[in-house]
């Protein structure tokens, strides 16, 4: 409701008002029907009864119309806010969220808000007004029946709340399982060439199957709870109505109660319980949307990366000395996952040292980069920069000292020049051209119709994989004053000629900087002073390169 605009609030007011009026017309409907059946009213009252039915139908149509408009407006506003937030954060700061998870949230997740906005909210308003109005009329008609309804009515919300607390938990787990399935499956599809190259495709098929099984299990648990809730609410309402109907029948047979009052009580009593039952049912139907809204607001919440640095973190600038990075018994897992991505990792990277992280795909190398950059916080242990805990430093300043190339760099639908200067918005065109020249991207950029002003298609659709990688590398070269270089398989999709050029340029770029390089290719491993092998989230070898290769050029098998 924090995103409600004036027009959306008006639609909500009309939808809720129509629902409440339709609920209150039940009293008029019961009064007319009881009077006609008992003979208290003439047959002419049937015309008024038809009019009441027509009014209730009209109000139901109005509720649906304005409720739909309100839901559409609110979802549209929320989607715009999320997309603006994604644009503001950028791909680097969204590294902890898989794109498939974000797509699931913005798409199906927010669509599941419809039952909450068009069903649950009006039902809450009706449940707050109609039972009270029915009770007042029952007290005026028959005190004994009204007392029974008053005593039994709270049973429905009490039992509904008890089941509802469990429902919210299982529904959140079900939505997170769906998000994880979408995110992981999309990641696997995008990375199929790499997975096949390293023999991990069959393993990932098993992982996808396990994630799908987890989602199916979570969905079945949610359905079981929903059916249990419906059973509890219907049972409570049925027993409560029996407590009202049986005494009414006995008193009617004994002649102590007139027919008109008996019919009125029997027609009104179910209407006291019905709004609460409907509210409970729609609560369960809306829980997936509520879980999606919680996830959306968590992303929209202003980031509080860390307090101001208490350890005196250097500000970026020419001449900043390379940092020492130390990981002390670090264990970390990604949000929403129980298994550890890395476990009990201790590692020291000296100032100015070049360290290559090698190992099979999925072993935890990229996770170590996320820890070093502050995108992921350790559950146990510490990440220290020059002896200061990374959680105590200004992460914006720390990342400003870093030249970073992701494993799967993202290109935005802007010009090539703007893509290159992404990490250095103030870079001049000459600086952009120099960075492209160092990344060996100048030749193909110059051949494009508009050169550096050429607009890049979505996700770099109009460029080859090697060209996209060189644009991403040019971003790093466009930040020459950084003191830390982080590369995640920068030559993974380049041909031999391009790889040799990039390796040479990377060797020049890494001079005077601390460098952490995730690598599989021997040429990139050959740049490192040390080679650290990661296997299943643990450091299993930490060896100087010369000692590892015996003075020879390392092979792919050495890296693995």
What integer pLDDT is reported at residue 346 of this predicted model?
92
Same domain? 248 vs 330: no
Q: What is the pLDDT of residue 184?
A: 58
One domain, residues 415 and 501? yes
Q: Check whether residue 272 and residue 399 sit in a common domain.
A: no
Model pLDDT, residue 318:
37
How far apart, in Å, are the Cα atoms of 337 and each of 209, 290, 333, 340, 426? 16, 21, 7, 8, 39
Same domain, residue pair 275 and 332:
no
Q: Does 310 reside within a domain?
A: no
Residues 295, 375: one domain?
no
Q: Is residue 317 part of a domain?
A: no
The CATH code of the domain that includes 235 is 1.20.1560.10
Q: Are residues 175 and 275 in the same domain?
A: yes
Integer Cα distance of 535 and 30 in angstroms: 73
Q: Is residue 136 part of a domain?
A: yes
Examine residue 306 and state whether it is found in any structural domain, yes or no. no
Q: Each residue's pLDDT tens digit in the chain (560 positions)?
A: 554 555 567 777 888 888 889 888 888 888 888 888 888 887 788 888 889 889 988 988 988 888 888 888 888 888 888 888 777 766 545 544 656 667 777 777 788 788 888 888 888 888 888 888 888 888 888 888 889 888 888 887 777 677 666 666 666 666 666 666 665 565 555 555 434 433 455 666 776 677 777 767 777 777 777 677 777 777 888 888 888 888 888 888 888 888 888 888 888 888 888 888 888 777 767 777 777 777 778 777 754 443 333 344 443 343 468 899 999 999 998 887 878 888 999 999 999 999 999 988 888 888 898 899 888 889 899 999 998 999 888 887 887 788 887 777 777 767 888 888 877 778 889 989 988 888 888 888 888 888 888 877 655 666 777 788 888 888 888 887 888 888 887 776 667 777 787 787 788 778 888 999 988 888 888 888 999 999 888 988 888 866 655 544 444 344 43
Query: Is position 315 within any domain?
Result: no
Split into its structural domains, the chain has a count of: 2
Residue 53 neighbours by CB distance under 10 Å: 12
Distance CA 405, CA 428 (A): 21
User: With DSSP H G I counted as helix, E B as strand and the rest as coil, what are the percentages for the chain, rounded to 5?
Assistant: 65, 10, 25
- On whether residue 191 sits in a domain, the answer given is yes
DSSP state of 43: T
Residues 127 and 191 in one domain: yes
Q: How many CB atoms lie within 10 A of CB 428?
A: 11
Q: In the structure encoding, which two tokens stand for residue 454, read together?
A: 């050429």
Q: What angle do CA 395, 396, 397 make, to 5 degrees?
A: 90
Cβ atoms of 423 and 471 closer than 8 Å: no
Q: What's the pLDDT at 312?
A: 40
- Is there a single domain that holds both residue 276 and residue 331? no
DSSP E strand boundaries for 166-208 = none
CA distance 353 to 509: 13
Q: Measured between alpha carbons, how far is residue 196 from residues 200, 220, 361, 436, 492 in Å?
A: 6, 34, 10, 31, 13
In this prediction, residue 99 carries a pLDDT of 62
H or E segment to which residue 267 belongs: helix 259-300
Which tokens hold the place of 262?
């008996």
Domain of residue 214 covers: 6-300
Give me the count of residues in the chain.
560
378: CB partners within 8 A, 6+ apart: 330, 331, 332, 371
Placement of tokens 């990229």 in the chain: 366
Q: What is the CATH number of the domain that holds 478?
A: 3.40.50.300
Is residue 506 within 8 A of residue 335, CB to CB? The reply is no
């Amino acid at each position: 409701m924090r995103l409600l605009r004036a027009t959306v609030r008006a639609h909500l007011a009309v939808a809720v008002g129509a629902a409440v009026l339709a609920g209150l017309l039940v009293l008029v409907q019961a009064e007319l029907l009881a009077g006609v059946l008992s003979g208290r009213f003439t047959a002419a009252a049937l015309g008024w009864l038809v009019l009441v039915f027509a009014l209730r139908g009209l109000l139901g149509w109005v509720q649906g119309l304005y409720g739909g408009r309100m839901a559409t407006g609110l979802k549209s506003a929320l989607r715009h806010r999320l997309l603006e937030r994604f644009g503001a954060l950028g791909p680097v700061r969204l590294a902890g969220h898989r794109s498939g998870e974000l797509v699931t949230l913005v798409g199906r997740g927010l669509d599941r808000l419809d039952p909450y906005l068009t069903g649950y909210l009006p039902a809450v308003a009706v449940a707050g007004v109609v039972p009270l109005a029915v009770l007042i009329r029952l007290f005026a008609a028959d005190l004994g029946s009204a007392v029974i309804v008053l005593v039994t009515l709270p049973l429905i919300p009490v039992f509904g709340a008890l089941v509802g607390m469990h429902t919210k938990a299982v529904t959140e787990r079900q939505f997170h399982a769906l998000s994880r399935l979408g995110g992981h499956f999309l990641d696997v599809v995008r990375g199929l060439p790499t997975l096949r190259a390293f023999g991990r495709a069959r393993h990932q098929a098993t992982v996808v199957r396990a994630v799908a099984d987890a989602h199916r299990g979570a969905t079945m648990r949610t359905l079981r709870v929903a059916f249990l809730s419906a059973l509890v609410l219907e049972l409570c309402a049925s027993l409560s109505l029996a407590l009202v109907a049986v005494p009414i029948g006995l008193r009617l047979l004994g002649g102590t109660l007139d027919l008109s009052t008996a019919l009125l009580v029997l027609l009104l009593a179910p209407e006291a319980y019905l709004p609460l039952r409907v509210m409970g049912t729609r609560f369960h139907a809306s829980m997936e949307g509520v879980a999606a809204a919680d996830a959306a607001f968590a992303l929209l919440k202003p980031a509080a990366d860390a307090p101001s640095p208490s350890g005196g973190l250097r500000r970026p600038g020419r001449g900043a000395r390379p940092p020492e990075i130390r990981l002390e018994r670090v264990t970390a897992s990604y949000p929403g996952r129980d298994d550890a991505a890395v476990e009990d990792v201790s590692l020291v990277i000296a100032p100015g040292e070049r360290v290559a992280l090698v190992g099979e795909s999925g072993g935890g190398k990229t996770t170590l980069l996320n820890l070093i950059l502050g995108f992921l916080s350790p559950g146990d242990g510490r990440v220290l920069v020059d002896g200061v805990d990374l959680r105590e430093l200004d992460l914006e300043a720390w990342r400003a000292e870093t030249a970073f190339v992701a494993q799967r760099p993202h290109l935005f639908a802007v010009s090539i020049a703007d893509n290159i200067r992404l990490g250095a918005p103030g870079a001049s065109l000459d600086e952009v051209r120099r960075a492209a020249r160092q990344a060996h991207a100048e030749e193909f950029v110059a051949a494009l119709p508009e050169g550096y002003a050429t607009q890049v298609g979505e996700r770099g659709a109009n460029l080859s994989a090697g060209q996209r990688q060189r644009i991403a590398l040019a971003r790093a070269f466009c930040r020459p004053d950084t003191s830390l270089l982080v590369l995640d398989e920068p030559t993974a999709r380049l041909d031999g000629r391009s790889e040799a050029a990039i390796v040479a340029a990377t060797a020049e770029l890494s001079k005077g900087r601390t460098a952490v390089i995730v690598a599989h290719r021997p040429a990139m491993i050959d740049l490192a002073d040390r080679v650290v092998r990661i296997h299943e989230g643990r450091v299993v070898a930490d060896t100087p390169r010369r000692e590892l290769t015996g003075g020879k050029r390392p092979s792919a098998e050495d890296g693995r």
